[in-house]
Amino acid sequence: MLFSELRCKQVINLKDCKCLGRVNDLEFDECSGQICKIIVSNGNRFACWFNNEPEYIICFKDIKKIGPDIIIVDIGR
């Protein structure tokens, strides 16, 4: 899967079925080359200008399913 395809998917939290946003960036382990975390933003570009912190940083182990249109995660909010 390409990163451009991953960015198009909405991230949904399994706990409350809320849309967290879309994948904005990835964090890799330098040694293994594996994805450690996905960084999700809600898509509000104006908020990003005033706040450099992403909306959610989700560990890869919390991803339950990557489907054709959505990514389902299980995080406590």
pLDDT, one tens digit per residue, over 44-69 is 655 555 655 558 999 999 999 999 99
pLDDT for residue 15: 93
Mean pLDDT of 32-45: 84
List helix spans (H) across the chain. 3-7, 45-50
7: CB partners within 8 A, 6+ apart: 22, 23, 24
Quick check: 60 and 36 in contact, CB under 8 A?
yes
Q: Tell me, what CATH number does 61's domain have?
A: 2.30.30.240
State which residues form the domain around 46.
Answer: 3-73
Give me the pLDDT at residue 3, please. 86
Query: What local confidence, expressed as pLDDT, does residue 51 receive?
Result: 59
pLDDT of residue 8: 84
